């Protein structure tokens, strides 16, 4: 059974249509990667799922409830969390305050969940009272993911989690995504780093020009000659 299901999504910015009917599904506990060339609509899909853009056609369901066109602050209550590609931290707030904002909707004390999150990102614990603007790019990415985990989501949407990071941090981030998944949290990620993303995912979607091109197990996609040649930058 699918946790998240997007069906025939048509969406874009104002008059400009970017997605021309994309469908995807994520099951509970799965890691799913969306890959594809620049401008194929990966980020647009994420924003549409999370209610930052309203689709002109198609439906999005989460746990069988229709969430199409719902506001982000309502969607986040349902157990879905989103880490955008850029501007994904509150730079003028401290690490701890970023976590507090991630926990804004919690009515209980968030300290217990903060400890769980700090265990996933021990580097952040030492710097909890530091303003995020003083952190490195890799640390900021950790803050972004940590914030998104504060409501104990079932599904985490990650938009380009390794974009702009030094190669050493790219490994770290994929390791952390694996850790997060081991807690039973499903992950849907969009990645430029297509080969690595597929290596860390169970299933993958290849988007091109705002349409589904390939959908398969990651291993099969990695072994697919055409996918390798067109989207992974080389032979399988």
Partner 1 sequence: MIALVVDGVILGSILSLGAVSLTLVYGIVRFANFAHGDLMAVGAYVAFFLVNTAFVALGFPDATFGPLSFGLPMLLALPVAMLVTAGVAVSVDRLVFRPMRQRSYAPVMFVIGSLAVAFAIRALLFIIWGPEFHFFTQALRPALQLPYEVRVKPDQIFILLACLTMVAGLYLFLQRSKIGKALRATADNPDLARISGINTEHMLVWTWAIGAAMAATAGILLGIDAQLRPEMGWNLLLPLFAAAILGGIGNPYGALIGGMTIGIVQQVSTAFLLPTYKPAVAFVILILVLLIRPRGILGSEQRGF
Among 54, 66, 104, 217, binds partner 1 (CB under 8 A): 104
Q: Are 44 and 53 in contact (CB under 8 A)?
A: yes
**What whole-number distance in Å separates Cα of residue 11 and Cα of residue 31?**
24
Residue 73 interacts with partner 1 (CB under 8 A): yes or no:
yes
Instruction: Supply the DSSP string of 178-235, one letter for each residue.
Output: HHHHHTT-EEEEE-SSHHHHHHT-SEEEEEETTEEEEEEEHHHHHH-HHHHHHHSSS-
Residue 129 interacts with partner 1 (CB under 8 A): yes or no:
no
CB of 148 to partner 1, least distance (A): 8
Three-class SS state of 19? strand
Three-class SS state of 140? helix
Site stretch for partner 1 (CB under 8 A), options 102-110, 189-197, 212-220, 225-233: 102-110
Site stretch for partner 1 (CB under 8 A), options 91-99, 162-170, 183-191, 199-207: 91-99
The contacts of residue 147 (CB under 8 Å, 6+ apart) are 83, 88, 89, 98, 99, 101, 102
CB of 91 to partner 1, least distance (A): 5
Site stretch for partner 1 (CB under 8 A), options 59-67, 80-88, 172-180, 184-192: 80-88
Residue 101 interacts with partner 1 (CB under 8 A): yes or no:
yes
Among 54, 115, 126, 133, binds partner 1 (CB under 8 A): 133
Q: Residues interacting with partner 1, by CB under 8 A? A: 50, 52, 71-73, 76-77, 82, 84, 87-93, 97, 100-102, 104-105, 133, 147, 151
């Amino acid at each position: 059974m699918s946790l998240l299901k997007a069906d025939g999504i048509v969406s874009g910015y104002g008059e400009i249509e970017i997605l021309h009917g994309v469908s995807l599904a994520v099951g509970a506990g799965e890691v799913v990667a969306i890959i594809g060339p620049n401008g194929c609509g990966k980020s647009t899909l994420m924003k549409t799922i999370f209610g930052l853009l309203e689709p002109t056609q198609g439906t999005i369901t989460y746990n069988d409830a229709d969430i199409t066109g719902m506001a982000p602050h309502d969607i986040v209550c349902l157990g879905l969390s989103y880490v955008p590609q850029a501007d994904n931290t509150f730079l003028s707030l401290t690490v701890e305050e970023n976590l507090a904002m991630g926990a804004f909707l919690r009515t209980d004390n968030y300290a217990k969940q903060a400890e769980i999150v700090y265990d996933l990102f021990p580097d952040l614990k030492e710097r909890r009272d530091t303003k995020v603007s003083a952190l490195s790019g890799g640390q900021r990415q950790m803050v972004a993911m940590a914030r998104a985990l504060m409501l104990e989501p079932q599904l985490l949407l990650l938009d380009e989690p390794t974009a702009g990071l030094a190669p050493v941090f790219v490994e770290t981030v994929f390791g952390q995504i694996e850790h997060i998944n081991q807690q039973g949290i499903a992950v849907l990620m969009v990645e430029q780093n297509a080969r690595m993303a597929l290596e860390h995912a169970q299933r993958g979607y290849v988007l091109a020009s705002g349409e589904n091109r390939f959908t398969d197990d990651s291993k099969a996609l990695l072994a697919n000659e055409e996918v390798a040649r067109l989207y992974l930058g080389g032979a399988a």
